[in-house]
Amino acid sequence: MQLSNMQAEFIELIQNHHAQNELLIPVKNLIYYKQKIEDHFLAHFASVYPMVKYFTSDTIFITMVKKYIDYFPCRYSNINEYGEFFFEMMADNQVFHLPFLHELAQFEWLCHSMPTITDDGRLSVTSHGPSQTLNKTFILHPSCRLEQFHFPILNLRECYLKKEAPSFAIMQSQTQYVLITRPQSKLCIFKLKESEWIFFCGLQAQKTIQEAQKEAERYDTHFQLLDLDAMIEERIILDSSNKATVL
């Protein structure tokens, strides 16, 4: 048997509680390896989903992680790519009467999996003049994620950071619009008004600044155009002719 095949079979034995093989008899010899790998996975999920862990409990969180490992054995060489579907398990059964939990897990995975982006050079809006700028097509920076949640995810995040229990009002359904970006190594999270969400959706649909502004103004006649220079400086938007590189 080739070494690579033996390694694959060994991993399968560790991950499959019911697997049998003459390579390791008795199966109890696997207990040490199983425990080490399980501890490694638990630490990984705790670092990716700290808010889910906080709003449930250590015991419940460990139970959910073990169930996930059983249903979705890790096939990744890089453990940081493992755990993407954790939120789907919660969406199916409204875990422990916390209806917001699946969206919270989705939010945490988005933050964890955000790519780091760098780009060469930045477009100065003022160099094109206001009228030219309004008719230009900008795009959201490739590092950005524009998300709509049905629960106040950022309020829950604030409760977590302050180590407070969420109020009944916070746990109720309430639409929240969020822009997440990681321009370099720092994760940036912005809470958006609905009119700002509409504006960014317009840019995402490759509308010009002026067209996206009009879309937002149809919803909110008091909509104020955001500071384009600041958004470019913070790498939230790019001239569509600019290139960005994912690291």
Would you say residue 92 has pLDDT above 70? no
Contacts of 99 (CB under 8 A, 6+ apart): 151, 171, 173
Class of residue 227 by CB neighbours under 10 A (exposed 0-12, middle 13-18, buried 19+) = exposed
Give pLDDT, residue 159.
93
Would you say residue 214 has pLDDT above 80? yes
Output the average pLDDT for the chain: 80
Task: Give residue-wise pLDDT tens across range 110-131.
Answer: 999 987 766 544 444 444 444 4
Give how far Cα 12 sits from Cα of 19, 73, 103, 123, 182, Å.
8, 9, 32, 52, 36
Tokens of 60: 């419940």
Q: What is the mean pLDDT of residues 20-24?
A: 53
Short-list 79, 5, 97, 92, CA closest to 43: 79
> DSSP per residue over 109-174, as a string?
HHHHHPPPEE-S----GGGT-HHHHHTSBEEE-TT-EEEEESS-HHHHHHHHHHT-PPPTTTTS--
Cβ–Cβ < 8 Å for 197, 146: yes
Most confidently predicted of 95-99, 141-145, 203-207 = 203-207
- Token pair 């959910």 is at which residue? 64
Query: How many CB atoms lie under 10 A from the CB of residue 162?
Result: 8
Distance, CA of 174 to CA of 151 (rounded, Å) = 5
Cβ–Cβ < 8 Å for 177, 196: yes
pTM higher than the cut 0.85: no
Give pLDDT, residue 125.
43
Give pLDDT, residue 216.
94
Give pLDDT, residue 182.
81
Give pLDDT, residue 229.
79
Short-list 172, 178, 180, 169, CA closest to 151: 172
Task: Give residue-wise pLDDT tens across range 44-91.
Answer: 999 999 999 999 889 989 989 998 988 888 888 788 899 999 988 776
**What's the number of CA atoms in the CB half-sphere (13 Å) around residue 136?**
20
Phi and psi angles of residue 33, each rounded to the nearest 5 degrees, phi first: -65, -40
Query: How many CB atoms lie under 10 A from the CB of residue 67?
Result: 11
Give pLDDT, residue 124.
42
Task: Give residue-wise pLDDT tens across range 217-231.
Answer: 999 998 988 787 788
Task: Give residue-wise pLDDT tens across range 168-196.
Answer: 777 777 899 999 988 777 888 999 999 99
Give pLDDT, residue 196.
94
Using a pLDDT cut of 90, give the percent of the chain over it: 35
